[in-house]
Amino acid sequence: MLENASKNNVIVSEIISKLRNKNTVPTDFRLNLRRLGNFLAFEAAKHLDYKTSSVQTPLGEAKYNKIVDNIVIISILRAALPMSDGVHETLPDASLGVISASRGKKLQDDGKDFRIDCTYTNIPYLEGSIAVIVDPMLASGSTLLFLLRQIENQKPKKIIILCAIASQYGIERIEKHNSDVIIIAGDVDSILNEKGYIIPGLGDAGDRAFNTS
């Protein structure tokens, strides 16, 4: 299931434009990744279970809906760090897990599949929980497929992927692997080039966020 947040939220569309802009400096890039995390977490909350509770006001009692799901945010290092902070601000009771995973050797000449090098993983046990995976770029889908295979055997209640930009190819790979996964993207681009980069995309999110190349 795919949701393109830019289609129904003009603020998300404006944030994405700032992330795409090649002249956006690293401090502003990180700030807008964080803001995007806030907004996409609100979209993710629509898929959570809740119960009706009540709170005492100065003048009486008011009912409200309270999230009942256990949520685990999984941040793919390092590019996802600012965005994960924004998600965590909106879902402050969530647990946080991290995985250090990066592209390795191309497995296909067309740049649409890569070996994934994983050097560190620390993810809370997920059985019965909502796994919210944060990765700014869903390009070939290789990294996310690697992670999905690691966590699916723990039987999470639901898996939600939050990304800034997703390629149509990467979306289709994820949906083919597991049609129950919910993908919430800031925007969707149709082209994935021979190097596995999304076009027009926004460049390398990690390099742009942390001023490296």
End-to-end Cα, the chain, rounded Å: 34
Looking at residue 85, its pLDDT comes to 97
Cβ-contact 111, 196 below 8 angstroms: yes
**pLDDT exceeds 70 at position 165:** yes
How far apart CA 26 and CA 204 sit, in angstroms, is 12
Determine the topology of domain 2-49+66-210 in CATH: Rossmann fold (3.40.50)
**pLDDT exceeds 90 at position 213:** no
Cα–Cα distances (Å) from 213 to 11, 40, 161, 179, in that order, read 29, 27, 26, 35
Domain boundaries, the chain: 2-49+66-210
* pLDDT mean across residues, the chain: 94
46-104 pLDDT, tens digit each: 999 999 999 999 999 999 999 999 999 999 988 899 999 999 999 999 999 999 987 77
Looking at residue 125, its pLDDT comes to 93
The pLDDT-based confidence of 106 (bands split at 50, 70, 90) is low
